[in-house]
Structure 1
Amino acid sequence: MAHYFEEHPQAASRPGTVTLVLPDLHLRLETDRGMFSPGRIDPGTRVLLETAPPPPPEGNLLDLGCGYGSIALTLAMRAPGATVWAVDVNRRSLELCARNAQRACLYNVRTMHADEMPGDVRFTGIWSNPPIRIGKAALHALLTRWLDQLTPDGVAYLVVQRHLGADSLHRWLNDQGWATTRLASRTGYRVLRVAAREGGGDR
């Protein structure tokens, strides 16, 4: 079975488009098979974008698991003075995200494969609809890596389906030292606010 978190998706290309409409923006995005939610804006992503507070106006912002760019481009429009890092392992997704950003003239978006991301970059904010289906151990390792790259006052916002373990993830994050609160709950999704932990990657 092919997964959207493969580096080189096996699914044959079938280009399409989706439209993201929020109160403050309107984006038309190219999509394709072999990536997350190519046929529509994922409901969880929409809940995240509608409920998380505005991003910091400057600094480094991270869209973790960017797909074709709905979160990254929204951040870039809302914070034109910030650098938005759009990170994924899926090369097809990264190509589309870069193309969508260029088409929207959002030159503050930088697409980057997760394995090629500079380790010294620190983020004032992280937004993610994380790949729950990679499994709990892999998910925990993924989140540990990136959450420990938050600045001391940085905050992450994660959206997770309730029936896919949002509440257990909430408990795990708190147990690991990231002060986590439920920011919103809507249509089966939880939006979690995760504060940087003391020591970060030195823990």
Structure 2
Amino acid sequence: MAQHYFDSDPGAASRPTTVNLVLDDLHLRLATDRGIFSPDRVDPGTRILLETVPPPPTHGHLLDLGCGYGPIALTMATRSPAAAVVGVDVNRRALDLAVFNAQYNHLYNVDFFQVTDDGAPHPHTSPAHPTALSGPFAAIWSNPPIRIGKDRLHTLLRTWLTRLSPEGTAHLVVHRHLGADSLQRWLDTHHLPSQRIASRSGYRVLRITSAPAAG
């Protein structure tokens, strides 16, 4: 059976390596491995997101949705040291790496959790901080897992974007060839009004400023 980065327990043989995330305000060395998203380099969409978004709120709870091995969550944690950052993913191997990367880079204001598509804690999720996943979140940043398919993606986004605080803002990065424009139309149709704030190398950065509670 083919293995994907969005599998909960990827079976690909381990081949550890490291990548560097270098931005104007930070330099993080990150451990990666096979069986996770973009193990050989920081994904270009992730880099464009991190170079485009405004600074995260200085306090409150911040979320990296689909955190992988942690480049977005650890950037949030670096830029907002007084905030509480949460990274969530389905991939156990990626999460183990994210925990290691936080410790290696001396970032202690971030926690990582394994979740299911509908936002529920995975059975293996630590019981510590039981309310960490419920929000509300002052900011959500994400390079969402487009390749899981539209139905799963829409479930994922509906679940987490409705956990924004009333003043919270989400930023998503999606390539136009992977459906960025149709996703923006879907967001607007489902009462998650969005605005394109940047477009570079085919990637769109979308800002969502209102996510009313599901009802």
State TM-score, norm by structure 1: 0.96
Distance in 2 between residues matched to 1:197 and 1:85, nearest whole Å: 19
User: Secondary structure of the equivalent of 1:110?
Assistant: strand
State the Cα distance separating 1:120 from its structure 2 match.
Answer: 3.2
Alignment partner of 1:160: what SS? strand
1:121 aligns with 2:135: yes
The answer for the alignment partner of 1:62 in structure 2 is: 63
More helix by share: 1
3-state SS of 1:85 partner = strand
Q: Alignment partner of 1:28: what SS?
A: strand
- Check the 8 A contact 2:163/2:211 in 1, yes or no: no
CA distance in 1, matches of 2:135, 2:162: 11
Matches within 5 A, 1:52-201: 52-114=53-115, 115-116=120-121, 118=131, 120-198=134-212, 200-201=213-214
Per-residue CA distance 1:37-59 (angstroms, 9 max, x = gap) = 00001000000000011000010
| Structure 2 residue matching 1:105: 3-state secondary structure | coil
Question: Which residue in 2 is equivalent to 1:3?
Answer: 4
Give SS of 2:152's match: helix
How far apart in 2 are the matches of 1:162 and 1:93? 26
Q: TM-score, normalised by structure 2?
A: 0.91
| Structure 2 Cα separation of the partners of residues 120 and 98 of structure 1 | 20
Quick check: 2:162–2:211 contact (8 Å CA) kept in 1? yes
- Identify the residue that residue 29 of structure 2 maps to in structure 1: 28
Q: Distance in 2 between matches of 1:195 and 1:95?
A: 31
After superposition, give the CA deviation of every residue in 1:150-173 in whole Å (9 maximum; x if it has no partner).
011111100000011000000110
Percent of residue pairs identical: 60
**TM-align CA RMSD:** 1.0
Between stretches 109-118 and 139-148, larger displacement belongs to 109-118
1:171, 1:120 → 2: CA distance? Answer: 26
Secondary structure of the structure 1 residue equivalent to 2:54:
coil
Q: Which runs of 5+ in 2 are unaligned?
A: 122-129
Mapped to 1, the partners of 2:211 and 2:134 lie a distance apart of 17
- Tell me which stretches of 4 or more aligned residues in structure 1 moved more than 3 Å: 117-120
Q: Distance in 1 between matches of 2:5 and 2:203?
A: 20
Paired letter, 1:126: I
Query: Hey, what's the Cα distance between the residues in 2 that align with 1:141 and 1:111?
Result: 20
Amino acid in structure 2 at the alignment position of 1:57 = T
Tell me, which stretches of 5 or more residues in structure 1 are unaligned?
none
- Amino acid paired to 2:194: T
Report the alpha carbon displacement of residue 178 of structure 1 after superposing the two structures with TM. 1.1
Displacement, 1:22? 0.1
SS at 1:138's partner residue?
Answer: helix
